[in-house]
Chain A
């Protein structure tokens, strides 16, 4: 085992904590940082510091934001009574890319995952319940992933919130646009038939 000077070892240890970074990659990154200019190193350190200091969760929807409420929750031209529920903040981008959604969001920061010991109590649900119970919501669109975890989460939220009388919908699953039915697996195909609509 190569011995590094203490500050170098510390940097490598910290980098190793990042997802997808093993010992080798961490060393490579650490040496890159060491060789870079003081200015670049300061910019990197500053950016890391800044992201933690200035970003937090929106008090209404749990989106990651530098202003509170976030840009969606404070936008009066958006339908504040239509809420799209997603697992992660990054999912918001996917919905925004459609440019056809004009409602707001709620971010759960995860999904029910029994194998990881994650139950409903570990998700950020209470703010959503409050919005629904206050009568601030007309419709909830559940846009969790179409996986076992995402489905279990959607099912749980439906059971929890439907009794308040709010309209709860689930995003459709089915054949990807532009693809060929011939290559669709059975589950996708049966979901597509189940979710058919009248023309």
Chain B
């Protein structure tokens, strides 16, 4: 069978048998695929650092027939951009892991999604050591929107009252924002500032926010709200979301 190729983002790799790696790629052409990279564990020469999570690569693979048809054979991988080119501190490692886990969990197999691919690629360039929160916030917002999980942010989900200029609240078990009257017990407030950040981020590319000071606290409520949406959809907690929350 002829080799297929695509730009791709490496999501995860698991050791398989003695020397092989089972690798999940988010390819631009065909969405999420899984493949076996033979001898990748033993001989680093063959794939080098190309199979590190969040490496942007050009991957060449071969489809297989028979019962393992959904498991491709990875032929080779050229590094286009590596996360190792820039400093990797603990914060950045967690943020990168978060993007990988989100994509791995949210993307269906074999379904191309160019918008999510472009989002992921753009956001990864802005996750820098010591400065991850802008990119994480941007990724959270857009991934929720592009997977169709974003609720209306301008009106109360219970009564439809406009929230702009008024207090708004969120709750892990509610599907959107609520007004002061309809908020549930133990709801948290979503600040006006964070709602403005969301509106701004939906209007501009991620580059527009590069270089802005972005302390962890900025948009923390918005990120929490968005993560809750995703975790509710997945019906499970994301390992890296918990780690992200614990960062100082």
Contacts and interface: CB of A to CB of B under 8 A. Distances in A.
A116 B97 CA distance: 9
Interface in B47-67: 48-50, 52-54
B48 A188 contact: yes
Given A115-B239, A116-B239, A185-B50, A148 B83 contact: yes
Contacts of A120: 90
B101 A115 contact: yes
A128 to B, nearest CB: 16
B88 interface: yes
Contact of A151 (B15, B18, B88, B240): B88
B87 interface: yes
B91 to A, nearest CB: 9
B82 interface: yes
Interface in A100-129: 112-117, 119-120
Contact of B92 (A20, A113, A152): A152
A166 B129 CA distance: 23
Contact of A149 (B17, B93, B101, B240): B93
B129 A148 contact: no
Contact of B49 (A113, A119, A187): A187
Given A185-B50, A186-B79, A148 B88 contact: yes
Contact of A115 (B79, B90, B100): B100
Interface string B64-101: 00000000000000010011110111101110111011
A152 B89 contact: yes
Nearest to B84: A187
Interface string A144-173: 001111011001100100000000000000
B203 interface: no
Contacts of A117: 239-240, 242-243
18 contacts: A114-B239, A115-B12, A115-B97, A115-B100, A117-B243, A119-B90, A119-B243, A147-B52, A148-B53, A148-B84, A151-B84, A155-B89, A159-B89, A185-B50, A186-B79, A187-B84, A190-B85, A191-B84
Given A115-B53, A186-B82, A20 B18 contact: yes
A119 B82 contact: no
Nearest to B49: A187
Interface string A169-181: 0000000000000
Interface residues of A, number: 25
Contacts of A113: 97
Given A20-B17, A120-B90, A185 B54 contact: no
A-B complex: 3 closest residue pairs judged by Cβ atoms: A114-B97, A152-B93, A151-B88
A113 B243 CA distance: 10
Q: Is the interface of A mostly helix, strand, loop or mixed?
A: helix
Contacts of A155: 87-90, 129
Interface of A: 19-20, 112-117, 119-120, 146-149, 151-152, 155-156, 159, 185-188, 190-191
A156 B12 CA distance: 22
A64 B161 CA distance: 65
Given A117-B243, A187-B84, A190-B85, A112 B18 contact: no
A78 to B, nearest CB: 30
Contacts of B236: none
A187 B93 CA distance: 17
Given A117-B243, A152-B89, A187 B82 contact: yes
B246 interface: yes
B212 to A, nearest CB: 24
A26 B18 CA distance: 15
Contacts of A188: 48-49
Nearest to A146: B84
A148 B54 contact: yes
Nearest to B91: A152
A147 B15 CA distance: 15
A112 B243 CA distance: 11
A146 B82 CA distance: 12
A115 B240 contact: yes
